[in-house]
């Protein structure tokens, strides 16, 4: 058990299901492009290691299984680290050809404006039954032709659908089958990004950004990628405000995953994306901590029914920076506590969160030094404290920082410098 009470107490928040919340609004925008798909938005986040890792082919030594990365409830139960933990169960239930899963996911991670130990993912999949009436290829082709045409878009897709080294074909599929399934996948997801960035453009205009009066075609590109659950695989990038942004990952589902789920008669595609990343872009939200705010000055700015508008900051309070330096694995009596306990960077992130909560805006390593004679290693971390809702006093920040220093000694046997 390495899951703190602060994480467990957030399980019932389900931000992606709260009306008038930016994550819920973002989820609904994406789901609107898949009207026939069955949605799964309320699946409980406690899963078995078999669901989270084994069903997806994670090897026993995969770093994602480590306690430094994953929140364990007990040896065989975790808080899901991705929505794909439910993929095999949904495939096995076989309730629909297409489905969407949206959920809160949990990982021990860095502290900065774009990372949080709880975030939200959305994934979708479409599969076809090879044994259904009518030729398999003909049914995929008909579904592809039924998808709406997309206007005002420039698509770059220079690589072949299949490449023997970079994007290999599965032995269970023919090149023609994959070509049609990939075309259906790409057309479906191009429709999603056009919908998202149409909203983003409108919001940018209301913000007063310097955009052309006549909107130029949206530029997107398909990039070859690797994912453990799909092959061939791609990432979809969008050219936005002078830069290429990665929006999602996708590919043709590995047949072994469908076989293990008991639906070896089906083949298809899947995609996944992070809702925070899209919502921060849509609403110009600068800090991921804001999604968890219960301040009405934040929440009252969003509506499921009104046009999307950029977030208007309600606070620009100053913060304060403090450093903590320490020797690792010290045997000095000054260290005390759990002498020699293994230390991982995510441990200090978790410790800081446990003390300062959302008052810690950024934690980063600024110096690492190994003594040439003793071999002892020294680390220095810089912590930036700031509240997004009020003025954080120096006295309060000093108290938090001193508590962090003490807990480092107690928990990891470090020697403070």
Q: Are residues 217 and 360 in the same domain?
A: no
Domain boundary residue, one of 237, 266, 299: 299
Domain boundary residue, one of 299, 329, 363: 299
Predicted pLDDT at 330:
52
| CA dihedral of residues 161, 164, 170, 172 (deg, nearest 10) | 100
CATH classification of the domain holding 390? 3.30.70.380
392: helix, strand or coil:
coil
- Answer whether residue 305 is part of any domain: no
Which helix H or strand E contains 399, and what residues bound it?
helix 394-412
Sheet containing strand 118-129, strands side by side: 38-40, 98-106, 118-129, 266-274, 243-253, 230-240, 218-227, 153-156
Q: Are residues 273 and 352 in the same domain?
A: no
Entry field: residues in the chain: 417
Predicted pLDDT at 47:
97
180: helix, strand or coil:
helix
Spatial separation of the C-alpha atoms in residues 103 and 126, rounded to whole Å: 18
Q: Are residues 64 and 116 in the same domain?
A: yes
Q: Are residues 330 and 292 in the same domain?
A: no
- Answer whether residue 312 is part of any domain: no
Q: Are residues 141 and 97 in the same domain?
A: yes
Q: Are residues 151 and 281 in the same domain?
A: yes
Predicted pLDDT at 32:
95
- Answer whether residue 84 is part of any domain: yes
Q: Are residues 268 and 375 in the same domain?
A: no
Indicate the number of domains in the chain: 2
**How much is the pTM?**
0.90
Q: Are residues 123 and 209 in the same domain?
A: yes
Is residue 325 within 8 Å of residue 398, measured between CB atoms? no
Domain boundary residue, one of 236, 270, 299: 299
For residue 261, the enclosing domain spans 5-299
Q: Are residues 190 and 94 in the same domain?
A: yes
- Answer whether residue 315 is part of any domain: no
Spatial separation of the C-alpha atoms in residues 269 and 230, rounded to whole Å: 8
Using CA atoms, how far residue 10 sits from 32, 215, 226, in Å, is 27, 41, 32
Predicted pLDDT at 336:
39
Is residue 289 within 8 Å of residue 388, measured between CB atoms? yes
- Answer whether residue 158 is part of any domain: yes
Q: Are residues 251 and 334 in the same domain?
A: no
Q: Are residues 260 and 361 in the same domain?
A: no
CATH classification of the domain holding 125? 3.30.930.10
- Answer whether residue 191 is part of any domain: yes
Helix 345-356 to helix 394-412 angle (10° resolution) is 140
- pLDDT averaged per 10 residues in sequence order, the chain, 417 residues: 92 95 96 96 96 87 90 96 94 96 96 94 96 91 94 93 95 96 97 92 72 74 94 96 93 94 96 96 93 93 89 84 88 41 86 94 94 90 93 93 95 91
Residues 6+ apart with CB under 8 A from 397: 320, 322, 359, 385
Sheet containing strand 46-48, strands side by side: 46-48, 77-79, 72-74
- Answer whether residue 306 is part of any domain: no
CB atoms within 10 A of CB 118: 22
- Answer whether residue 314 is part of any domain: no
- Residue carrying the six token digits 């920040």: 397
Q: Are residues 341 and 221 in the same domain?
A: no
């Amino acid at each position: 058990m390495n899951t703190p009470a602060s994480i467990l107490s957030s399980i019932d928040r389900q931000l992606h299901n709260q009306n008038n919340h930016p994550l819920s609004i973002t989820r609904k925008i994406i789901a609107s492009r898949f009207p026939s798909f069955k949605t799964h938005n309320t699946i409980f986040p406690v899963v078995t290691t078999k669901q989270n890792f084994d069903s997806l082919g994670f090897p026993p030594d995969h770093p994602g299984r480590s306690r430094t990365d994953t929140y364990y409830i007990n040896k065989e139960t975790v808080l899901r680290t991705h929505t794909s933990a439910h993929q095999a169960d949904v495939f096995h239930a076989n309730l629909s050809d297409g489905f969407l899963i949206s959920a809160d996911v949990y990982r021990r991670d860095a502290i900065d404006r774009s990372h949080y130990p709880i975030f939200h993912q959305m994934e979708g999949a479409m599969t076809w039954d090879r044994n259904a009436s009518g030729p398999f290829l003909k049914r995929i082709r008909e579904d592809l032709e039924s998808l709406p045409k997309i206007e005002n878009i420039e698509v770059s897709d220079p690589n072949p659908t299949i490449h023997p080294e970079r994007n290999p074909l599965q032995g269970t599929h023919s090149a023609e089958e994959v070509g049609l399934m990939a075309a259906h996948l790409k057309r479906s997801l191009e429709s999603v990004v056009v919908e998202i960035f149409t909203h983003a453009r409108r919001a940018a205009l209301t913000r007063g950004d310097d955009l052309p009066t006549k909107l130029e075609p949206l530029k997107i590109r398909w990039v070859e990628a690797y994912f453990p659950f799909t092959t061939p695989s791609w990432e979809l990038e969008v050219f936005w405000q002078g830069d290429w942004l990665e929006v999602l990952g996708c590919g043709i589902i590995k047949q072994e995953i469908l076989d293990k789920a008991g639906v070896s008669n089906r083949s298809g595609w899947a995609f996944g994306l992070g809702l925070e990343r899209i919502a921060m872009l849509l609403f110009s939200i600068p800090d991921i901590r804001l999604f968890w705010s219960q301040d009405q000055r934040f929440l009252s700015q969003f509506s499921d029914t009104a046009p999307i508008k950029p977030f208007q900051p309600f606070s620009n309070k100053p913060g304060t920076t403090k450093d903590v330096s320490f020797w690792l694995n010290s045997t000095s009596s000054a260290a005390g506590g759990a002498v020699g306990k293994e230390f991982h960077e995510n441990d200090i992130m978790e410790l800081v969160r446990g003390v300062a909560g959302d008052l810690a805006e950024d934690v980063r390593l600024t110096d690492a030094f190994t003594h040439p004679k003793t071999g002892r290693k020294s680390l220095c971390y810089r912590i930036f404290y700031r509240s997004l809702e009020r003025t954080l006093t120096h006295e309060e920040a000093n108290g938090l920082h001193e508590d962090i220093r003490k807990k480092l000694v107690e928990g990891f046997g470090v020697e403070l410098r």
